[in-house]
A and B are shown apart, each in its own frame.
With several copies, the nearest count.
Chain A
């Protein structure tokens, strides 16, 4: 029997497979498909202090082996979440994480502070990397300085463990990862989506109501894997890898490149059972390869 558990230091996971924010609703949407306790954990959709309308539709475009979204973090806000959703997730034996958003640094801290006063949250994921909510697709994770400042502020506002989610739309992702580490983040997760666009030839308009959006799915996997590899060699905190993971083989590539755990995003849309199948696939692979603890795979790439 393979030991699938992984220890992030600040958090023990029963297995390294987490559902990614924005692709797993508030968790409840997946209850019809399987027992959520089978997951290593999941990250709920990004939350601001207040409810948020999100961007104007159309919000999705399919591209070769990829998906561009410009949801714009529509959501019920952190208060309604704690009042209406959190109680429904209470007692679940899996790591429930919340993706924390903010218009500016202060709001991130206030959302984190608010969540810190509630039970049942295993960790916060700091979403400083969404390309869909600021002018021109910009975000705090595009500079080490604003990353450092935001992480620092949030750390002061809560004692919940913090996972900082990084943006791939940067020249040097390791510099941003190091800034987050210096500011005290417990882990980093990457990658968020790549800023992208598509045009409708007949109307001559952007296919997305918000003009640009974020690219996810198998198309971006090779870029995500490269960034996880680079960041894992640059920081000491655990790295949670994601970007186009659709199979156990994909997850194993990320772990070999240095990820302690992985997140599964777009795959949840195509196959609501995706996380479950990946967990089973990891189990099978480890058994066939005589591996006792899946955590041994992390960073086992041979150069």
Chain B
């Protein structure tokens, strides 16, 4: 059940162009699951027109958190909101990650690239609460792209870090770090969120290693709640390839379901 309401912005933290907002919304907080998202109104004028989809980064008590990176005009306007302001949000939307009872006691990889870490923190906490042992992979272009690393560690998670420029953590793509780690241990499941090339590479690795996995996809969204058919991706389900709605049938899909399409990389 979707809710449409005003949520008060109660705290703002920021690092360069990354922002962590804490919003007061008891209704959303108590219904939310990791991997779900909000549609947020960023402007009061018709410019930009559409809401912006942002994942839930945390839900606790009456509060939810979002973690986002300024990517363009919409997220820039969002980043300018001040504590005390009301945000116009819709949510929680979409299907989240599945948290499987059989993962109890097992190691699980959570791989986030850049802003893709947003839903994974929430997921990792829920996995831990369910008895699984999440290991967080957190990759970025540079050290400044990993503002949450200390916080994740302070929360008791095992966090493996990589940067493309080698400024901190292991140098290179986070996918190489996953590959290296797979030589040491085998997780029972892999969850990922990040840029398409990262997820596509992870999908390849998972297929090779015969690992089960789930991916959270991004897509341009018109509505966020299934009304426009604008957000579709090609998905393999029941032996058929179909355009399914990322907002409603996703944004999380399983390894076997996602059809990576050359054309949509750019």
Contacts and interface: CB of A to CB of B under 8 A. Distances in A.
A touches B in complex, CB < 8 A? yes
Interface of A: 22-25, 29-30, 32-33, 45, 53-54, 56-62, 64-67, 69, 71, 74-75, 200, 202-203, 205, 209, 217-219, 246, 266, 268-273
B242 A53 contact: yes
B226 interface: yes
Interface residues on B, range: 20 to 34
B227 interface: yes
B242 to A, nearest CB: 7
Given A268-B223, A269-B228, A62 B48 contact: yes
A56 B266 CA distance: 14
Given A32-B1, A67-B222, A270-B41, A218 B229 contact: no
Contacts of A219: 46
Q: Chain B interface mostly helix, strand, loop or mixed?
A: loop
A64 B242 CA distance: 31
Contacts of A59: 220, 229-232
A24 B49 CA distance: 17
Contacts of B243: 53-54, 57, 74
Contacts of B225: 29, 32, 272
A84 B64 CA distance: 36
Given A59-B232, A74-B243, A272 B266 contact: no
A217 B46 contact: yes
A83 to B, nearest CB: 18
Contact of A45 (B3, B41, B219, B229): B229
Interface string B209-250: 000000000011111011111111100000000110000000
Interface in B44-85: 45-51
B11 interface: no
Nearest to A268: B227
B90 interface: yes
B46 A58 contact: no
Contacts of A33: 2, 4
B264 A58 contact: yes
Contacts of A30: 227
A270 B49 contact: yes
A7 to B, nearest CB: 29
A45 B222 CA distance: 15
A27 B197 CA distance: 36
B232 A270 contact: no
Task: Tell me which of B221, B233, B243 has the highest count of chain A C-beta atoms within 10 A of its own C-beta.
Answer: B243
A62 B50 contact: yes
B259 to A, nearest CB: 11
Contact of B46 (A23, A29, A45, A64): A64
Given A66-B49, A218-B46, A23 B227 contact: yes
Contacts of B228: 22-23, 25, 60, 69, 71, 269
A60 B230 contact: yes
B266 A269 contact: no
Contacts of B219: 57-58
Contact of B47 (A64, A202, A205): A64
A126 to B, nearest CB: 20
Question: Which 8 pairs between the two chains have the least Cβ-Cβ distance?
Answer: A203-B266, A269-B223, A60-B230, A25-B227, A65-B46, A218-B46, A32-B2, A29-B227
Contacts of A32: 1-3, 225
B49 A217 contact: yes
Given A30-B227, A59-B229, 17 more contacts: A23-B223, A32-B225, A33-B2, A54-B243, A57-B232, A57-B233, A59-B230, A59-B232, A60-B221, A60-B222, A62-B48, A64-B46, A65-B47, A69-B222, A71-B229, A219-B46, A272-B90
A74 B266 contact: no
A58 B220 CA distance: 7
A250 B130 CA distance: 51
Contact of B49 (A54, A67, A205): A67
Nearest to A66: B49
Nearest to A34: B4
A22 B226 CA distance: 11
Interface string B119-130: 000000000000
A224 to B, nearest CB: 15
A200 B51 CA distance: 21
Contacts of A25: 226-228
A269 B226 CA distance: 10
Contacts of A61: 220
